[in-house]
Structure 1
Amino acid sequence: MRAVALLLLVLLLAGCTQVVAGRGAAADPTGPTAAVAAPVTDAAGAAAAATTAIEDFWRIELPAAFGRGWTDIATLLPVSPGDALPPCVEDIAEVADQAYYCPSADAVVWDAAQLVPALFAEHGHVGVVVVLAHEIGHAVQTRLGVDEAAARDPAAYPTILQEAMADCYTGVVVRHLADDPVPGLPVGTAERDAALQTLVGFRDPLGVAAGDEGAHGNAFDRVSAFRAGFDDGARRCAEMTVPERGFTQVRFGSAADQARAGDLPLPDLLVAVGRDARDWSTALSGVPGWTAPPLVTDGCPEAAAQGPARLCPAADPLAPSAVDVDLAELTPLHRELGDFAGATLVSGRYGLAALRAGGAAVEGVDAGHAAVCLAGAYAGQLLVAPVDFRLSPGDLDEAVQVLLADDWAARDAAGRADPAEHGYERVARYEDGLRGGPAAC
C-alpha cells in the first residue's frame, strides 16, 4: 500500500490518549439534507461550525446516553504559525499537521494553517467534522472516566482501543448530523462516504501491529469503529473491548513482503489469488464434483459491465466457464490502491460462481449484495487460517478503498448494482462477511 498524502497522527500527550452483533440499519441521510442551508465554504468556517455543533450535541447526548452532565471543553483552539504556544506542547511546530486532545488542560487543539485546509480541500466540511469529532470524542472518554480506568488497567485500555472509541464517537456525531441536520453541515450519502474516506487517511503506517504502543488502527478497523457508533449509538462506543473489536492489523510476515510494501506484482497476484480463491469457491459451493472456473485475462468482454473482474456467462452453471479480469482496467487499480483491491473484486466473482453452481441466482440485487459479503468472507478466512496465500499489512485497507471507490464489487452477473446502496453499505456488507463468514451472506 502506498503512503497517503495526509496522515493524521494524534499527539500522544501525557494522559492522552469480532463479531459485531446487534447492528441497526444505517440511516438514509438523503432526504433531510435538501432543506439544510448550503455547506460552509471555507475551512475555518467548517471548524467553527463543527466544534459548536459537536458540543451542542454532547450537551444533550451525554446525559441521555450515560446519565452524566456535559462540561464544556475548556479550550477549543485553532493554531497557526506565529500564534502563542498552545497547551501541552513545548514547541508550536509540534502542532503542524496535527490535532490533539490534552486531558490535563481539557484542550482540543488543531492546525488551522495546514491540516484543516487540507482536509477541507480533500473531503469537504465532513473531513473537518471527522477530525474534530474524534478529538472531542477523547474528551467524552475523559468525562466518562476512561482515563482513570486506563491508568488502573492499561492492558484493558490500550491506545488502539481508546482510538477506536473516539472513532466510534465520531460515527455517533456524524449520524446525528445526518438525522438532525445542522445549518452549514449537511450529511448525505456523499458526506457519509467522505467521512469513511477521511478515516482511511488516518490509518497507521504499514507494519504497525494492533498491540504496538501508540497504534491507532488500520483503515478497516477505524472504519469499523466509526460504523459501530453511526449504527448503534454512543453506549456501544463506551462498551468496546479489545476482544470485541477483533483488531485486524498485523506486522509483515517476512522481509520480502515488507520490501514490496505488502503488494505482489500483478501477474503474481493473479496466479496466487486465482489458485486460492478458486479452491475456496469450490469448497464454498458444496456441490460434489464441481470445480470453480479458472482465472483468465480478457476472456469474456461481453461481461464488461461487471467491471475489472467478471464472472463469465454460462448457460449451464456446472459447465466450464471462467472468472475474467480485464488487465487494462485492473492495472491502474492495482497501481493506485494496491494488490488486494483487485483480489477483492476477483474473490467476489468467485463467490458468485459458487452461488451459481449451487443453483442460486447470480443476477439481481440479492446477488450483488452476496458478492460483496462473500468477498469479505474470503478475506476473513485468510485472517484466521492462511495456508499459502495470506493477508499482508494494508490489504484490508485496500479492500475498503476499492469498496468506496466504485460499486464494482456489488455488481451482479449482469453488471447491475443496487442503486440504493453506496460505499458505506458496501463496506458494511464486506465487514459482515469478514466477521461472520459465508453464513452471514
Structure 2
Amino acid sequence: MTHDGARNGTLLSRHRKIMPPWMPLFYEEPLEIVRGDGCMVTDSRNKTYMEFYSGIATNTVGYGVPGIEEAVRERLRTGVVHTSTFYLIREQVELAERIADASGIPDPVVFFTSSGTEAVETALLLATQYRGSHQVIALRYGYHGRSFGSLAVTGDRTWQGRGLSPLRVAYVHGGERRRGALAGLGDEDYVRACARDLEETIQTCTPERTAAMIAEPVQGIAGAVPSAPGQLAAYQEVLRRYDIPLIVDEVQTGWGRTGRYWGHQWHDVAPDVLVFAKGVGNGFAMGGLVGRRAIMSALTAPSISSFGGNPLSLTAALATLNHIDACDLPARAGQVGALLLDGLRKSLADEPWVCEVRGQGLLLAVEYTHPGTLDPAPEMAAKVQEECRVLALLVGLGGSFGNCLRIMPPLTISDEQAVQATQIITAATREARG
C-alpha cells in the first residue's frame, strides 16, 4: 500500500493522517522550523522567531552551536555512529565519569538510555528490584514520562490517560500551594504538613517495604511549580527513617537550567538515584541515570539499551557539557532567569487574567485564570501563545490545567533578548484580553 496521494496534500494534512491523534501540535496554524542559530529559529515561510521553549528544555545551549557541530561532524567522519554496549566506548566512560563526579552521589554507577522516559523506567525497575516491592510514592502534579511505568508515577490526570498501572502508587503533596487542603499555609507550616502527610501515607497506605519515592525539584509539565523551600529535604528525612530511596527526576531541571547544575541542589537533598536527559544532548537523543552502587547493581539478569550511550549522542553530550562548563551557564541561567522572572512579574502585576508568574532560573511559567478566581483559563493562555507567535516569540503551552505559558529558552540568551521577550509576553497578554 502506498501513500503517494497523501503526500500531495499539505504537510499538516499529511501529519494528521499518518500521525496519532494523541500527539498534539502548537498553534492554529502549526509551523515547521527549518533553520536555527543561537536562540533564533526560522520557519518554512522564512519568518524568524526567538525560540523560548528549547524543544521542551532540550536545546540547552541553543541552535547551531559551532563546538557541538564540529564534534559531531568529526564523529560522523569516523564512520562509527553506533556499535553497541557489548563493546568498549571511550566517550561513554568519559561522560559517565563526568556525570558521576557532578552528581555528588557516593560510589556512583551510571547507565545511559535514549530518553528521559526510558531513564525513569530504568530507575523504577532498579528500585523495585532492590527493595522487592512495586510500591512507589510520587508527587501530585508530577510528570515522569510517557511509558507504562513512568505514567503510573505521573500525578497529573491530563497525561495519565486511563490510569492502568504496573505499579502501586501513593501520591503526596507536590509544589502546588494555592489549591487543595494545604492552600494558604506559609513555608514552614506547609513543609511540616507535607512531611506529616508523607509519614502518615507510609504508615497507613503502603506495604511494609516501599521501592522508592520519585520527585522533581521543579514540576515542569505542571507549569514550572517549584517545591517549597525545605520540602524535599523534609521528605528525605522521613524517607530515611523507613530506608526508602529517593529518586530525583532532573530531566527538565538538570544541566544548569534552574541556576544550579542540578535542581535538587537548591533543596539540600542527596539523591539515591538521579535521572537525567533532555539538555545533556542539546537535541541529540540522550538520557540516563546515576545512582548508588547497591541500587544500580540490583538487576540479576543482563540488561542493555540498544541506543543508549551510542557514540554519536555521547559525542554531542560531551561537547554540550564542555560548552556549559566553559560559559558557566548555570550561573548565567540564574542571572538572566531572575531578570526575566522579575520583569514579567512587574509588567504583568496588574493583569487581571494573570494568576502567577513563577519558576526558577530559566524554567518559568505564566499561569492564567479567570479574573478574581483560581479557575483555570486555558483559552486565555492559548490566545497569548498565538499572539506571542505573531510578535515573533515561540513559547510553550501547558500546565496541569492547560492554562500556562511555559518559558524555557536556551541558557545562552542575552539580557536584551530576555527584556524583549518580557515586552512581547506583556503585549500579547494585553492583546489577548482585548
TM-score in terms of structure 1 length: 0.25
Higher helix share: 1
TM-score by length of 2: 0.25
**In proportion to residue count, which structure has more strand?**
2
Bigger relative contact order (CA 8 A; separation at least 6)? 2
